[in-house]
Amino acid sequence: MNILTAENLTKGYGEKVLFDDISFGIDDGEKIGIIGVNGTGKSTLLKILAGLEWPDKGKVTMGNNVRLEHLPQNPEFEDEATVLQQVFKGNSPVMKLLREYELAVEKLECAPDQPLLQQALIALGQQMDELEAWQLENEAKVILTKLGISKFDTLIGTLSGGQRKRVALASALINPTDILTLDEPTNHIDNDTVDWLEQYLNKRKGALVMITHDRYFLDRVVGRVFELDKGKLYPYPGNYSRFLELKVEREEQVEATERKRQNLFRNELAWMRRGARARTTKQKARIERFEKIQADKPTEYLDRIEMPAGASRLGKKILECNHVQKGFPDRGILIEDFSYILLRNDRIGIIGPNGSGKSTLLNMIAGLMIPDSGSIEMGATVNMGYFAQENTYLNPEIRVIDEIKAVAEVIPTADGGNISASQMLERFLFPAAAQWTQIAKLSGGEKRRLYLLRILMAAPNVLLLDEPTNDLDIQTLTILEGYLDEFPGAVIAVSHDRYFLDRITDKIFSFEGEGKIRSYVGNYSDYQEQVYAAKQAEEQSMSLASLAKTFRTTNVPSGTEKSPERKKERPLKMTFKEQQDYEKIDAQIAQVEEELQKNNQLMNDMGSDFGKLTELVEIQKALEEKLDVMLERWALLNELADKIAQNKR
């Protein structure tokens, strides 16, 4: 069922037209991914759907009672609000009630002896019961925890930019809505959290429209792809892999049409050169057809152009990290006793939870931070390019071409030639007309792309990339990946983009907590396989160790200890303790399950008492952990019982 229709939408700013006369519909439950070069209007289109901006022409129509929730690329925040208050920012009755309840709890904690505050909290608790808001509050806390935010009373003003974005994402996810629009939801979250978000959105009911550069994410979540290209919208059925297949077919059709146009153009041009006389209606029509063919030029695909890799000479010694340690008073030890010698053609991906120290390591390698102990030694020929998370070096007052020329007019290529700043801009999706635009007028993604090009124009031979996929479009990432394929130097990249890590890395550094950094050979998928295999081996080892305790061997007769072939295994049987557990464990599991059910009912009944609710949540957690242990014990005992039964046969 169609729940939203966009008809003949046109939007531009000044002379720049973002999209022209585009139309589409969104069905209930449909999941759509929007892709396109930065600056083509993807974010603007989402804002128009959300009612935050208006099209120059056309209209958006939604069904009756259809609710839409939008996560912008740069959300607005109230610095004095707590995390939970910010999450419950919606205007629905439930969201307003949740905000009031959290505020009442905060006031009562400051003045617990105030009867009026106690009565107000009880009244709000009753309203929470009526609107069944407790489930929503619990879901919000679960989602925040999954996103790495565990202190719900923290003021928004004290959070980092990445933490704020995750709070905004949680707010968008918990709001009851029919259409959810997300602008770059995977930015600022780590790989494990991206995996969780992927699973969450796959299970979520309702329509989804999102902008993302994460190609694995698109492949596994969406069922339709919208491509914004040169002001037009091209819909493709299927996920990202299917989009790639269909786009190739479309471009081949465009090329075939262009070849036909060129043939017609040559024929008509030859006729015109013979001196066509415009005295008859037929001749006038043919001249008009010539002019139409001449004007009807095909779409140019700038993302097909390859970008040559140029780099300065790299000597034998590149980079040596010797027993590096770094920590902060409020975060503890992030990096402990880390040593590594960087090789000429290393392609290293760095992964780990947010705040674990990944950017800190890059900052120390770049010389922006000093280790607490240990040393980092740089080779004399190293020309380092550091693509940081912030575009700190761009001057908003100057033009695009001048920013690049300030670094280099030309750069050498691997084949011994040169390429100009203007040519590099074209290869990086800045056509000639856009090169004279003031940087301040660029979109966030375009500025990010320009900043990356500025780094590459300095012809580095060692590249440090800190979250290079944030705010870069897929076409730019494809060009960057092609550049790195030919790059004659070392690359170290911090990234949560699984596709990017699979595409460019041959070694993974994993931040695994308490300052430990473990190295894995291979790309990200190889790393996942190694971690999974190690986990399986550990679980199997624990299981075998547990089963080994159940085996008993008979005493070997005197004088035959050195004849292992004469040893015989005693029949397998349970110990006295195992037999007791086996007989009682079913009833014990049933009892814990009953306690869980009763505790869950108490949580629903005591919802207005925040202190009691917190206590019950802890009890619930302890019971669940106890049940997990008992179920594992039940599985082992039953496996042992089966083996004993088989031996008796």
Please indicate, yes or no, whether the overall pTM of this predicted structure exceeds 0.75. Answer: no
Taking residues 452-473, what's their average pLDDT?
Answer: 89
Q: What is the DSSP letter of 156?
A: G
Q: Tabulate helix, strand, coil % of the chain (nearest 5).
A: 50, 20, 30
Please write the tens of the pLDDT for every residue from 147-205.
Answer: 888 888 888 988 877 788 889 999 899 888 899 999 999 888 888 888 999 999 999 98
Any idea which of 134-138, 514-518, 570-574 has the lowest mean pLDDT?
570-574
Please write the tens of the pLDDT for every residue from 214-228.
Answer: 999 999 999 999 999
Please write the tens of the pLDDT for every residue from 251-260.
Answer: 888 777 777 7
pLDDT of 561 higher than 80: no
Cβ pair 396, 274 in contact under 8 A: no
Q: Which of 445, 448, 444, 450 is nearest to 430 (CA)?
A: 450
| Residue 283 confidence class, pLDDT cut points 50, 70, 90 | low
Strands (E), 485-547: 490-494, 507-511, 517-521
Report how far residue 350's alpha carbon sits from residue 493's, in angstroms, rounded to the nearest whole number.
6
Write down how long the chain is. 649
Report how far residue 510's alpha carbon sits from residue 517's, in angstroms, rounded to the nearest whole number.
5
Output the DSSP codes for 318-370.
-EEEEEEEEEETTTEEEEEEEEEEE-TT-EEEEE--TTSSHHHHHHHHTTSS-
Percent of the chain scoring above 90 in pLDDT = 36
Report how far residue 269's alpha carbon sits from residue 273's, in angstroms, rounded to the nearest whole number.
6
